[in-house]
Amino acid sequence: DKIRLLSHKDRESYLLLYSILGYIPGNIKYYEMAMTHSSSSSGTRKLACNERLEFLGDAVLSSVTADFLYSKFSKEREGFLTKSRSNLVCRERLNELAVRIGLDKYLIACGLPHQHNSHVYGNALEALIGAIYIDKGYKYCRRFLLDKVFSQLTDIESVVKSDKNYKSRLIEWGQK
């Protein structure tokens, strides 16, 4: 009912966010900022971008992921949990998850998302998490990540055990 009273443009934004989040945002401005990449600010028209929210979202994502792994793998040691968290929230995985949940349709950026090795979508996902945290709090962030993001990973066991961190593997080999 609340959405029907909005203008067409605002209604579209709320409905798109609702389809991604699973709830109606309290303050849509945070979410709009989360989906605004710094490349969209040019010349005299300066828009607020998502970098500060990305910083906050990264910290919340790390916390929720650590809590999730700690509970799911109760018999594993600290080293396994640290590597697993790294595998779960690496840039490539965040980009992939952001596209799977539909953030690519909502991001405001100037040409960057299509560049090779761009992490714009993963950064937007972190910014979205920051927006959720400011708007609704930690419990909503946790629920969003568990229900909407981590659920996109069909085999969580193989994801956390995959080892694409070649730098760490090289260092470990050198130390042996």
Residues annotated as catalytic (active site), given as ranges = 58, 126
HEC profile of 36-71: ECHHHCECCECCCCCHHHHHHHHHHHHHHHHHHHHH
Tell me how far apart the terminal alpha carbons of the chain are, to the nearest angstrom.
Answer: 63
Looking at the DSSP assignment, which residues form a beta bridge with residue 36? Answer: 108
Q: Are 69 and 146 in contact (CB under 8 A)?
A: no
Q: Are 69 and 81 in contact (CB under 8 A)?
A: yes
DSSP secondary structure code for residue 153 in this structure: -
38: number of Cβ within 10 Å: 16
Whole-angstrom distance, CA of residue 94 vs CA of residue 71? 21
